[in-house]
Structure 1
Amino acid sequence: MKKAFFTLFSIFILVACSKDHDSSAQPNSPLKADQYPQQWKLVKMTGSIADIPPAIGENMEWQEDYLLQSDGTFIKTRERENNTTTVKGTYAFVKLSDGTYLELIHESENTLLCNCSAELKEYLKLDTDTDLIGTCWACDGPGLFYKRIK
């Protein structure tokens, strides 16, 4: 009896451990981390005053998205009051002490750069595989929340 139990237990362990896991697949999402181009769309914004409710969709002050290309370049586009502004630069996903961030390095100074320093770098925290959070909120900028749509 012990031999049969041991054999069944061993087979169970072998089957359970042999399952192939794809680390690039994102649970609950058809999007993969290494799939490009990636489009991240601004879906919600908040102000620095706590009692003002967040703006969502068409009710936001502007519409904005990032397009990440496989060659490490990005395009950021903002549409505000029928004016479209586009900036470019390079990006990388970097691991910092409190998580993974999308680091964007802009080609030049511009009005779309949202950060807490004088650098041409912008950081967005990767909250989930399909959610980014802007970090200029920390220095009284707007709270910006992005969703990966492509």
Structure 2
Amino acid sequence: MQDLKENHKVPAILLIILLCSCSSGSTEFQFDRNVFPQEWHLIRITTSITGDFKEGTEMEFQESFILHSSGLFTKTRETSAGTVEGFGKYSFNEGENGTILELLHDSTNQTIINCSGNLIELFSMPTNETLVGSSAPCDGPILFYERVN
């Protein structure tokens, strides 16, 4: 039963990614993936179970990260309780389903969202302007980021 439940989540995640990458909104220009620094902001959190979402100030936290040309990143999360930061290395990897951004954190911190409990976060990159991260396979949220710089 658990395998059946998890098998249905993968198509749902792919559908969400596809919908985001095919949105009708257009930008005046496209970002170059090879230009740094890159600043990414969390714009939407969707629950994997119900599909409900929150945006802007409705979200429990605000989050952003910066990818530096040195291969290092800084990730910042702001909550009502204060600010938490995570640091580490990043890499872009090409896979069967497109580009994946991997963040490898230096240490455990509250900005890491994944199912494994390790120091790695993975984000699909449907376009050069959007990232999608998820812990949906373990009933966690789906996070949508937009490049702002």
* Amino acid in structure 2 at the alignment position of 1:48: S
Counterparts of residues 1-150 of structure 1 (less than 5 Å): 28-50=28-50, 53-150=52-149
Q: Is the 8 A contact 2:133 2:143 kept in 1?
A: yes
* TM-score of the two chains, using structure 1 as the length reference: 0.76
Instruction: Specify the SS of the correspondent of 2:137.
Output: helix
Shift of 1:34: 1.4
Shift of 1:83: 0.6
Instruction: Specify the SS of the correspondent of 1:49.
Output: coil
* Amino acid in structure 2 at the alignment position of 1:134: G
Aligned twin of 2:11: none
Alpha-carbon distance in structure 2 between the residues aligned to 1:100 and 1:136: 18
Q: Is the 8 A contact 1:65 1:77 kept in 2?
A: yes
Instruction: Specify the SS of the correspondent of 2:29.
Output: coil
Structure 1: which 5+ runs fail to align?
1-26
Q: Is the 8 A contact 1:125 1:135 kept in 2?
A: no
Question: Which range is displaced more, 97-106 or 66-75?
Answer: 97-106
Superposition RMSD in Å: 1.6
Q: With CA pairs under 8 Å and 6+ residues apart, which has the higher RCO, 1 or 2? A: 2
Alpha-carbon distance in structure 2 between the residues aligned to 1:77 and 1:54: 21
Q: Deviations over 1:30-50 (max 9, x none)?
A: 521111110010000011332
Structure 2: which 5+ runs fail to align?
1-26
Instruction: Give runs of ≥4 in structure 1 deviating > 4 Å.
Output: none
Alpha-carbon distance in structure 2 between the residues aligned to 1:144 and 1:30: 21
* Amino acid in structure 2 at the alignment position of 1:148: R
Alpha-carbon distance in structure 2 between the residues aligned to 1:118 and 1:56: 25
* TM-score of the two chains, using structure 2 as the length reference: 0.77
